Amino acid sequence: MGITLTDDKFIPHYNPETMETNLPGLYLAGVVCGGLDTHLWFIENSRVNADMIIADILLKR
């Protein structure tokens, strides 16, 4: 889709404040944010992504 990935672990580029990728309007949530480091993301630390994304979308309306 054109999201920038790191060379080594395919970690996608996103704004850690909003979860928005390098493509405006395209957001990431959950374990996909870890690229190959899926062990770093759990329900506990990824469910907040939804609130961050909605907050950013509402801010831009």
Ligand X SMILES: Cc1cc2nc3c(=O)[nH]c(=O)nc-3n(C[C@H](O)[C@H](O)[C@H](O)COP(=O)(O)OP(=O)(O)OC[C@H]3O[C@@H](n4cnc5c(N)ncnc54)[C@H](O)[C@@H]3O)c2cc1C
Residues that bind ligand X (CB under 6 A): 30-32, 41-44, 46
Residues in the chain: 61
Give ∠ CA 39-23-20 in degrees, rounded to 5.
50
Strand partners, 53: none
For ligand X, give the closer residue by CB, 36 or 60: 36
For ligand X, give the closer residue by CB, 17 or 44: 44
Q: Write out the two tokens for 20.
A: 């928005």
For ligand X, give the closer residue by CB, 37 or 60: 37
Smallest distance, Å, CB 41 to ligand X?
5
